[in-house]
Chains A and B, each alone.
Chain A
């Protein structure tokens, strides 16, 4: 079964605010995680990844934090825009990659 899961099925934020999407995993040996964004009618799009030798990684407007102690990771989106509206998945990078339900982010204008 799945080894990663997301905390909240939906998240609604105001345009311009920061968004935080959380994810928990169960396997302490997991060493590589990826965040994907899926817009309606499209395949998942790679956003950012992080390996277990890091606690934080930043991209353009996105930051992923990894807390190995509590087996938790989060995706932070700065200055959320309407184009960020999508379903977000975290996944452990393994051969049989499985997905939880995802978090649907809705950005209100």
Chain B
């Protein structure tokens, strides 16, 4: 089946620093990828839609200058949390839609971010 990877799987950083998370579709091309955030015991919240070759579309309430998204190729999207603060600590999950073969959305394993 389709595989989506994320790197790193977990990261700990100091407050004020920036952290980059990578999302890759390993065996299919994804013109659109999605970034979600999940707090403990809560559901996934869509943050933004990442479009290859164009600007990301952010959900209401998500700061685009804080959560920078770059979708440089058909298999890679990155999320950079800039000037991270403890309240940004969360589980970040990406997904990618395989439009060619299955038209199904597949999720990555997630990245646990802890900001000290």
Contacts and interface: CB of A to CB of B under 8 A. Distances in A.
B8 to A, nearest CB: 14
Contacts of B97: 95
Interface stretch (A12-20, A41-49, A55-63, A72-80): A41-49
Chain B contact residues: helix, strand, loop or mixed: strand
Contact of A43 (B42, B49, B107): B107
B110 A43 contact: yes
B103 A99 contact: no
Interface residues of B, number: 24
Interface in B39-84: 42-44, 46, 49, 59
Given A42-B109, A42-B110, A43-B93, A93 B44 contact: no
Given A43-B109, A46-B1, A96 B104 contact: no
Contacts of B106: 46
Interface string A21-49: 00000000000101010000111111001
B105 A96 contact: no
Interface in A62-92: 89, 91
A96 B110 contact: no
Given A95-B32, A95-B49, A98-B46, A41 B110 contact: yes
A102 B43 CA distance: 7
Interface of A: 32, 34, 36, 41-46, 49, 89, 91, 93, 95-102
